[in-house]
Structure 1
Amino acid sequence: MIKHFARRWNQYKYRFVPWLASNINESSPRIVPSSKEDKIISDEDVEDCLLLLFTAFHKNRKEKESLESRYSECSKLMHDVCGFSIERQKSLLENGGRGVFVASGQVQCGSVVAMYPGVVYQPWEPVFWVSLANSFLFRCADGVHIDGKDTGLSKMMYNSCSKRDSVYGKLMCDTRWLTETPVNPLAVGQYVNNQSNKYAANVAYQEFDIPASFPMELRQYIPNTEARLHQDMEQTFYNRLLRVVVLVSLRDIYEGEEIFSTYYTIVQKDKTA
């Protein structure tokens, strides 16, 4: 029982603000001048990567294909388009649970490596119930939260919101990230472990807003949906942004390496604001 609690705490503590505030040195925070400068690559580069990859998924889809076959095919497409593929495996960290590894190829510095899936909550929306015993709740610099937990209440919320937001019976987001065979192999960012003294961070989180101009037919590969309700879903897709978080490589990452991030980022206040 004690070992189980210790393991859960080691996974959760980097999301617990009071602990972070008193353990800044241990947390090895990533410090950025302001939220506007917290960009490793440009938004245009992020969008181009997603468009290129999602277009490949869409063009090569088949009507009758098993979930396993679809996952395998999309992983191959990811390797063809991006030059690498990723997958979940047992982490190299002691008590680290599962992690994300480069399964094939090589990640070039400045590449989009993964996405952080889940329900997007605006700063004014309550997250208390979904946050309980939840080590997958990601907080953006502006207070937006993304719930990347794929079980329990979090899973129910995502499935409910995804069906609510469908247009003419077509989903406007990806629900397969909730399974072991996601149609979008990028959608495993919530399983990326925090860096340690032995393993330095090789990726960093970058916030990105999916523009209203993003093709409707490709939205089914976005592993995020909003908690808030929009009255006219078909029209609002043309005039609103959708927050997502991508993980961008800080250096070249080679086949067989585990991907590590920095859970704790300090965004300094803009003195001119």
Structure 2
Amino acid sequence: MSGICEGRVAVVTGAGRGLGRAHALAFAAEGARVVVNDLGVGLDGTPDADSPAARVAEEIRAAGGTAVAHGGDIATTEGAASLIRTALETYGRLDTLVNNAGFLRDRMLVNLAEEEWDAVVRVHLKGHFLPLKHAAAHWRTEAKAGRTPTARIVNTSSGAGLLGAVGQGNYSAAKAAIVALTLVAAAELARYGVQVNAIAPAARTRMTEQAFADTMAAPESGFDAMAPENVSPLVVWLGSGASTGVTGRVFETEAGRITVMEGWRRGPTEDKGARRTPEEAGETARKLLGEAETPLPVYGG
């Protein structure tokens, strides 16, 4: 196989199903050797007897590609470290990390248990941080040894993280934090040859099948707009050497659409040059809000 990732080694977390599986297959189709990570749990994070990582790795090999499965928990230090070691010990290098693993425990905030908050934040946010940390440590060592890599990290946020989603306070908070983590990592790791970007995808997966229930039927047009495979081309490009110069960005992507998201930036402002009274502060705030753009609505609001 040959393509824009020829010779590269890509690690994809949560790659046993859905978006992760589509990403792993797409990287392999473009010539990458792939480490397929999946803990093999159910939608709510409980143990699952299935071993999807091995299945996807075999699927890649059957198509003529190169892949190895990794079943560790990447939200633990040892699991994340062993993930990076697997790439280095199996293929001798690491070029791309795609952080994708996650699950849902949806509740309205007043019904959301502390353990449900912790579980979702752990797997999404900590599950991004730890693989990123161990991959970055390797690339820093390479750079300091004079072997500056062409390294790429692609993180997975969500529209819920950008706009919020009713019933998903834990998930929305974790996905918003991933955007901030992406911006910090892009700034800190640039000196080591590492580019870091994030996507906010929309596709039909186990996590979204209820939201997209009305699009589950096969489309008459032949183009399945909600297929996870529609998201993967952008991920592969961001994970390749072809994306040189693109870092610290967030892309919303679904079906055939790609949008560069423009995050927090200063809008209307007024400086009195002195302290305001609460009444003056309120008057100024209302005046500025009248000049500002109306925020996009929260999903489900």
Q: Provide TM-score, normalisation by structure 1.
A: 0.31
Structure with higher Rg: it is 2
Identify the structure with the greater strand proportion: 1
Q: Provide TM-score, normalisation by structure 2.
A: 0.29
Identify the structure with the greater helix proportion: 2
